[in-house]
Structure 1
């Protein structure tokens, strides 16, 4: 499956932001020696040579933009809303499983309950749409707000990832 994720990075220029974003995405696909792959591959939105990912799948998204620009604010809102919606969807599955199943049934993973538990606790992967420049998932609004407040020149870089 494909999804769009976003890296929040410090940069002075669009090229610096794109390079920093690619470093984040490299870590998330496991090309860094000290990382573990949570996605299969990624395509950033300056790439033109693919017919199944990036612009071909999602249309024209900016390659990298300052967070405080109109496009940047839109990308940030998309990423945060997707994170929040996915969390709430999985949390509802957890609540339903706790109401409907015994401990033994949950242990046997009836209705994929344990998968939903795992997703609610995830720090990266298909449930997390926003990442720091260190490839750490941004999991709550307070964390996002703190990153934005502490950043001197934040940029947002989108990528199409496959998992």
Structure 2
């Protein structure tokens, strides 16, 4: 499956932001030998030679945008809403499992209950859509606010990832 994720990076230029963003995405796909793969591969929106990912799948998105720009705010909102919606959806599944299933049924992962528990607690992966420049998933609003307040030259870089 494909989703669009975003990284928030400190940079002084568009090119620096894109390069730093690609470094983050490299870590998330395990291209960095010190990182384990969270996703299979990524395509940034500056790439023209793919017919199944990036622009070909999602249309035009900025390759990188200052967070305080209109484009940056749009990307940030998309990333945060997606993270929040995934959390709420999985949290509801957890609540339903606790109310409706026996301990044994949960242990056997009936109705993918354990999977929902795992997703609620995830630090990265397909339910986390925003990452900082160290490839750490941004999991709650306080964490996002700290990242946003930490730099005056913050950029957001989107990528299409496969998992």
CA RMSD of aligned residues (A): 0.5
Q: CA deviation at 1:136?
A: 0.3
Partner of 1:87: 87
SS of equivalent residue, structure 2 residue 12: coil
Q: Aligned partners of 1:108 and 1:4: how far apart in 2?
A: 31
Q: CA deviation at 1:61?
A: 0.1
Partner of 1:121: 121
Partner of 1:132: 132
5 Å-filtered alignment, 1:14-163, equals: 14-163=14-163
Structure 1, 40-49 or 101-110: larger mean CA deviation: 101-110
Normalised by the size of structure 2, how large is the TM-score?
Answer: 0.99
- Structure 2: runs of 5+ lacking an equivalent: none
Q: Aligned partners of 2:65 and 2:94: how far apart in 1?
A: 36
SS of equivalent residue, structure 1 residue 53: coil
Q: Aligned partners of 1:41 and 1:104: how far apart in 2?
A: 36
Q: CA deviation at 1:152?
A: 2.3
Q: Aligned partners of 1:48 and 1:110: how far apart in 2?
A: 43
Post-superposition Cα deviations, 1:112-145, rounded to whole Å, max 9, x if no partner, equal 1000000000000000000000000000001001
- Structure 1: runs of 5+ lacking an equivalent: none
Moved over 4 A (4+): none
SS of equivalent residue, structure 1 residue 99: helix
Q: CA deviation at 1:60?
A: 0.5
Q: Aligned partners of 1:29 and 1:150: how far apart in 2?
A: 26
SS of equivalent residue, structure 2 residue 84: helix
